């Protein structure tokens, strides 16, 4: 969606909210306006063809977006099934091995290589930890962490990224042996999360900042010493400002959603998300939301139409 296409979204959304009958009522209002205030229907032009051409073009766009979303859903489901299958195979492989082999033996050369990787990642993580925002005029935003490139946060023990729909978490285990499924503990609740190695203090053990869909949550061991978790948000119309309730918050004002991600949403959902994000920014800056602006505009217009009335002693909420 281009900036030009979305220029009147907030106005149209405000209009739509005042039509309990939905789209048919909104279209009737627009048609009535064209009838009463313009010569759209009587000016000699072929208005029916014009309307059909416009709606066919938008319909084709909507179908293209829906087809793209369907393909991406199918691809995401395929990836999810592959992750589940990989995890199942690892568990079956672990079950076939004796329980005493909790730690896989490695050669001195492999151990040295793993140790170097651990040190490298440790040093990199120390350098890449999300930094507090200092150059911010709004005092409420000062001290909050700047989001990483994935709109999440890089912390000492883990990093996470997010879209409006999903959260991806990557937890390094910092061990010098090849980790198997049987070596780790991962518990994903509706709003709780525990991740760590068996017999050791959990790396993550706390309350998530919002609810996730347990049935759609998956995890897998990657690179022999990392755990990657993917879970779907229950509320898919808000950005998380932290992973756990005890984490330092990031500035959601600094989040930069990719246009392609917003364009993947259907028209109604995209408009609601854009309105929500606009209202959130307005509230954070102490400015009126789109609904409040609409009410102010209506009130201002009414006052201009009735100059004989004295509103100086009126209180408006």
Strand 204-207 relative to strand 192-197, pairing: antiparallel
CATH of residue 243: 2.60.40.790
Strands (E), the chain: 153-154, 159-162, 166-172, 184-188, 192-197, 204-207, 212-222, 226-233
87 part of a folded domain? no
The structure tokens listed for 15 are: 């209009």
251 part of a folded domain? yes
Mean pLDDT to the nearest integer, 9-15: 82
The structure tokens listed for 289 are: 């939301």
d(CA 312, CA 134): 42
| Lowest-pLDDT choice from 172-176, 234-238, 283-287 | 283-287
Name which residue leads in pLDDT, 265 or 33: 33
Classify residue 190 by its DSSP letter: S
Instruction: Identify the band that residue 158 occupies on the pLDDT scale cut at 50, 70 and 90.
Output: very high
Residue whose structure tokens are 């879970």:
231
292 part of a folded domain? no
| Lowest-pLDDT choice from 16-20, 33-37, 110-114 | 110-114
Does the pTM surpass 0.85? The reply is no
244 part of a folded domain? yes
Q: Which residues pair with 153 in a beta bridge?
A: 160
d(CA 215, CA 274): 28
33 part of a folded domain? no
65 part of a folded domain? no
Q: Mean pLDDT in the chain?
A: 81
Structural domain span for residue 178: 105-255
The structure tokens listed for 213 are: 């869909």
The number of folded domains in the chain is 1
pLDDT digits (tens, 9 = 90+) for 164-191: 889 999 999 988 888 888 899 999 999 9
Classify residue 252 by its DSSP letter: G
Distances (CA, A) of 157 to 182, 205, 230: 21, 12, 17
Per-residue model confidence (pLDDT) at position 68: 87
Q: 213 by DSSP, 3-state: which?
A: strand
220 part of a folded domain? yes
Q: Which residues pair with 166 in a beta bridge?
A: 232
Alpha helices in the chain (DSSP H): 9-17, 23-37, 47-96, 108-128, 259-263, 267-284, 290-305
175 part of a folded domain? yes
């Amino acid at each position: 969606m281009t900036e030009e296409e979305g220029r009147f979204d907030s106005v149209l959304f405000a209009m739509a909210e005042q039509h309990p009958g939905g789209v048919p009522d909104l279209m009737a209002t627009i048609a009535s306006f064209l009838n009463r205030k313009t010569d759209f229907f009587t000016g000699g032009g072929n208005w029916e063809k014009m309307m059909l051409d416009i709606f066919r073009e938008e319909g084709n766009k909507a179908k293209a977006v829906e087809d793209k979303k369907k393909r991406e859903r199918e691809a995401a489901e395929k990836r999810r099934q592959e992750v589940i299958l990989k995890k199942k195979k690892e568990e079956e492989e672990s079950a076939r091995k004796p329980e005493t082999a909790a730690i896989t033996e490695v050669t001195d050369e492999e151990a040295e290589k793993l140790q170097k990787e651990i040190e490298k990642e440790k040093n990199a993580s120390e350098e890449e930890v999300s930094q507090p925002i200092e150059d911010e005029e709004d005092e409420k935003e000062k001290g909050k962490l700047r989001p990483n490139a994935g709109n999440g946060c890089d912390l000492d023990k883990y990093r996470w990224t997010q879209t409006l729909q999903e959260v991806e978490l990557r937890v390094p285990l910092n061990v010098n042996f090849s980790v198997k499924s049987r070596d780790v503990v991962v518990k994903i609740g509706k709003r709780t999360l525990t991740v760590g190695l068996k017999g050791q203090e959990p790396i993550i053990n706390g309350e998530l900042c919002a609810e996730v869909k347990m049935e759609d949550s998956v995890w897998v061991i990657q690179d022999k010493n990392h755990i990657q978790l993917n879970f779907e948000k229950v509320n898919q119309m808000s950005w998380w400002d932290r992973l756990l309730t005890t984490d330092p918050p990031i500035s959601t004002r600094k989040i930069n959603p990719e246009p392609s991600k917003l364009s993947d949403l259907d028209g109604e959902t995209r408009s609601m998300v854009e309105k929500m994000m606009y209202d959130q920014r307005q509230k954070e800056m102490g400015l009126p939301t789109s609904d409040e602006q609409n009410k102010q505009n209506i009130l201002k217009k009414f006052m201009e139409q009735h100059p004989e009335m004295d509103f100086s002693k009126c209180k408006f909420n």
